[in-house]
Amino acid sequence: MTKTMITGVQPSGNFTLGNYIGAIKNFVKLQKEHNSFIFIADLHGLTSYQKPEDIKNRILDLAALYLACGVDPNYTNFFVQSDVNEHGTLGFLIAFQCRVGELSRMTQYKSKKEKQGKEGIDLGLLIYPTLMAADILLYDAEVVPVGMDQKQHIEMTRDLGERFNKRYGSTFKLPDYYIPEVGAKIMNLQNPTEKMSKSAPIDDKGTIFILDDINITKKKIMSAVTDNDNKIYFDEENKPGISNLISIYSAITNKTIKEVEGMFVDQNYGTLKKEIASELERFILPIQERYNNYRYSDNLYKILNKGAKEAEKYASKKLLEVREKLGIKY
Ligand code: AQP
């Protein structure tokens, strides 16, 4: 039987190469052989304050970018999370089954908490994984392409789904994460022990934003932090900068790490960087062109509306089943 696959990205900043390699690339590769859903996680995007005008634009930017990256609405139900009310309702009901202790142990919560900590921590940040669990369980999704940072949240989704099934009878299918072999965690080019994140400031020299001017992107690659050893091989622990560059090259050219190491065995770091810069140009420019075509077209709204209607058909059935199981459908 065809499995259901789902993934989402928050409109919380500017889409990065890490987001592409960690989640969208695999989704696009797998979309035709699954019952596919992809959504813009705008409710998740509210877990840290954004100006309403900004988030509105980011939703549309991200929608156009998804399509430009190859999300195909002929095969995929493509929608904005808040257009399907069932996400919020199930998220609320799932949160009731979840313990504060397990939420506060989530790695992402712990690291983001430090940034928000000064003025107190919004509850949204803590309960983010319960909404994410609802996003997945609502569609009985079994495959979730994500980067390494989301692995823990998928495991929690399984736990929460299982807990509900045990208490109320079999209701949800339990998902598995699909983590890419290469590029599961693309690192910041200036600080290769930290994840590349889309909430980084636009002038951050270590973050590749897909919609940036290609010359800026090339400069960022050329000034990426490396080491003094001038030997090109993959060793994340001792050579995080070079290993990150190898992962990027490998992911955008679809070559294995071994193949990339072989190609650059006698080369210096400058050559590797130049090659990556020109491969990125080849890869990013067509995406930017397609993005510009989608971004201001009415078709974008039509695609999202149609996707939301389709998604709602699945989601409303599942929510009804949940209410019946809970005894709140009289
Ligand atoms: N650096 C990364 N390498 C590989 N995969 C990554 N992902 C994010 N950063 C990397 C994957 O992209 C998907 C979308 O992520 P999200 O929007 O749900 O939020 P996130 O994981 O918190 O991503 P960011 O870019 O770090 O956003 P901010 O800065 O807003 O927190 C996920 O599948 C994620 O694994």
Work out which ligand 1 atom sits closest to the CA atom of 48: 30
Q: Which of 65, 135, 149 to mutate to test the pocket of ligand 1 (most atoms within 8 A of CB)?
A: 149
Tokens at 149, concatenated: 């940072």
- Supply the angle between the helices 269-295 and 240-253 in degrees, to the nearest 10: 50
Catalytic annotation on 195? Answer: yes
CB atoms within 10 A of CB 35: 20
Q: By alpha-carbon position, which residue is closest to atom 23 of ligand 1? A: 197
pLDDT value at residue 41:
97
Residue 240, sorted as left (phi over 0), alpha (psi -120 to 50) or beta, turns out to be: alpha
Of residues 133, 139, 177, 173, the one with CA closest to residue 156: 133
Separation of alpha carbons 170 and 291, rounded Å: 42
307 and 79 in contact (C-beta within 8 Å)?
yes
CA distances from residue 117 to 110, 284, 314 in whole angstroms, order as listed = 10, 36, 38
CA distances from residue 34 to 39, 176, 182 in whole angstroms, order as listed = 15, 14, 22
DSSP 187-253: BPSSSTTSB--TTS-TT-TT--BTTS-HHHHHHHHHT----SS------TTT-HHHHHHHHHHHHHH
HSE at residue 275, side-chain half, CA atoms within 13 A, is 16
What are the tens digits of pLDDT across the range 255-297?
Answer: 999 999 999 999 999 999 999 999 999 999 999 999 999 999 9
What are the tens digits of pLDDT across the range 111-161?
Answer: 888 777 767 888 999 999 999 999 999 999 999 999 888 999 999 999 999
Query: Model pTM?
Result: 0.91
Catalytically annotated residue among 113, 118, 151, 198 = 198
Q: Name residues of the chain where pLDDT drops below 70.
A: 118
Catalytic annotation on 118? Answer: no
Q: Ligand 1 centre from 306 Cα, in Å? A: 26
Q: Ligand 1 centre from 18 Cα, in Å? A: 7
Of residues 243, 71, 44, the one with CA closest to residue 129: 44
Q: Which of 7, 10, 19 to mutate to test the pocket of ligand 1 (most atoms within 8 A of CB)?
A: 19
Work out which ligand 1 atom sits closest to the CA atom of 185: 3
As for ligand 1, residues whose beta carbon falls within 6 Å of it are 9-10, 12-13, 16, 18-19, 21-23, 41, 146-147, 149-150, 183-186, 195-199
Q: By alpha-carbon position, which residue is closest to atom 33 of ligand 1? A: 146
Work out which ligand 1 atom sits closest to the CA atom of 150: 35
Catalytically annotated residue among 195, 218, 220, 273 = 195
Work out which ligand 1 atom sits closest to the CA atom of 44: 18
Place of tokens 């695999």: 26
pLDDT value at residue 233:
97
HSE at residue 163, side-chain half, CA atoms within 13 A, is 15
Q: Which of 197, 243, 244, 252 to mutate to test the pocket of ligand 1 (most atoms within 8 A of CB)?
A: 197
pLDDT value at residue 1:
84
pLDDT value at residue 118:
63
CB atoms within 10 A of CB 164: 21
Work out which ligand 1 atom sits closest to the CA atom of 183: 4
Catalytic annotation on 329? Answer: no
- H helix or E strand, kind and range, residue 6: strand 4-9
